[in-house]
Amino acid sequence: MAQAYMTESGQGQDPERAASGARRLRDWWRPEGMWRRGIVLAVLAVLLGLLMIVHAHVPNTVGNLGSLLETFLPWLGLLGVPVLLIAAVLRRSTTAVVALLLPAVVWVSLFGGQVTDKKGTGGNLTVATHNVDADNPDPAGTARDIVKSGADVVALEELTGDALPKYKEGLAKTYPYRTVQGTVGLWSKHPISDAAPVNIKMGWTRALRATVKAPDGRQVAFYVAHLPSVRVKLNAGFTANQRDDSAAALGEAISKESIGQVILLGDLNGTMNDRSLAPVTSQMRSAQGAAGDGFGFSWPAGFPMARIDQIMMKGIDPVSSWSLPRTGSDHLPLAASVKI
């Protein structure tokens, strides 16, 4: 029968239980328990950090893997670090916990600035963009939501012949000026001129260019674009070649723009991290990146995972950027206030 010892409080303590607790504590702190456990988890943590560091060097030659990685790059840290941390705690591995500092620091350096509030004040023009979805069950309701946004200039993508009259009717009172080219359109409270389609090598019109007279009388060149969709296929990888060709054509058109102040609105089917959109992103600023609050993910609307809808500009200062409430579309509308 085990002999009990009296503690200062007068209660007995089983010496075998005390010894067992001491052994567990010793096993936790000694090197073979503290540092040698979780080596595999530590290696995975280091690989995760290195992958985020060298993402720009992941080749696109096979299945556009580089672009696919960059499309969902923020999620590598948002999901990977917590999962590995939980595993490291359960494994009681100090090595794995320390190794997780690498991906955590890399993620913060890459995306920490995006989760802070950079919104300002002083804008004199509000713009919005929305892929309204060809299968939108309520175009009239979506038009009402757009009016509620208070935007001065609105770009719509994925317009269909059946839904277009409802958008025209719903927006006409608030936006007396408009131009529709193919499946994209621009509505404005201010005069529009020189509207024309932009050839982005698709065989039909999914981009336009127009001049809008800003409140102070200056001319602003507006581009609206809906680049080709991308798919992830098991036998082909990230099928983005047509999108990439259209991005190159759009970037070339913008580079030749004679007006110094340019705003691009649209669904580019790619994020600012995607190197394949460099013909566009290399010459323009993202309103969300410069003046947003959070990541501003826009797709899919039910659980946004990527910001493939964009508001970009050059020669103009973005003041603030935000997501608008969900409509009948599978995309969220985006808005930004800019200073002309």
Question: Which has the closest alpha carbon to 95: 136, 29, 35, 22?
Answer: 35
Question: Which has the closest alpha carbon to 224: 172, 190, 187?
Answer: 187
The residue ranges of every structural domain in the chain are 35-114, 125-339
Question: Which has the closest alpha carbon to 133: 333, 337, 329?
Answer: 329
Contact 197, 205 (CB under 8 A): yes
Structure tokens at 291: 């003046």
The confidence score (pLDDT) of residue 186 equals 98
Backbone CA torsion sign across 258, 264, 268, 273: positive
Taking the C-alpha atoms of residue 169 and residue 9, their distance in angstroms, rounded to an integer, is: 82
The confidence score (pLDDT) of residue 233 equals 61
The confidence score (pLDDT) of residue 231 equals 75
Residue that is written with structure tokens 């309204």 in the block: 132
Taking the C-alpha atoms of residue 235 and residue 15, their distance in angstroms, rounded to an integer, is: 64
> Where does 9-124 have alpha helices with state H?
15-29, 31-34, 39-53, 65-71, 73-91, 94-99, 101-111
The confidence score (pLDDT) of residue 126 equals 98
pLDDT digits (tens), the chain, 340 positions: 444 444 444 455 566 666 666 666 555 545 555 567 889 999 999 999 999 999 999 998 877 888 889 999 999 999 999 999 999 999 989 999 999 999 999 999 999 888 888 899 889 999 999 999 999 999 999 999 999 999 999 999 999 999 999 999 999 999 999 999 999 999 999 999 999 999 999 999 999 999 999 988 999 999 999 999 887 665 545 668 899 999 999 999 999 999 999 999 999 999 999 999 999 999 999 999 999 988 999 999 999 999 999 999 999 999 999 999 999 999 999 999 999 8
Q: 125-339 has which fold?
A: Deoxyribonuclease I; Chain A (3.60.10)
Question: Which has the closest alpha carbon to 281: 216, 219, 340, 225?
Answer: 225
* Sequence letter at residue 245: D
Strands 184-188 and 317-323: unpaired
The confidence score (pLDDT) of residue 216 equals 86
Taking the C-alpha atoms of residue 189 and residue 209, their distance in angstroms, rounded to an integer, is: 17
For residues 191-225, one letter each, b for 16 or more C-beta atoms within 10 angstroms of the residue's C-beta and e for the rest, the string is ebeebeebebebeebbbbbbbbebeeeeebbbbbb
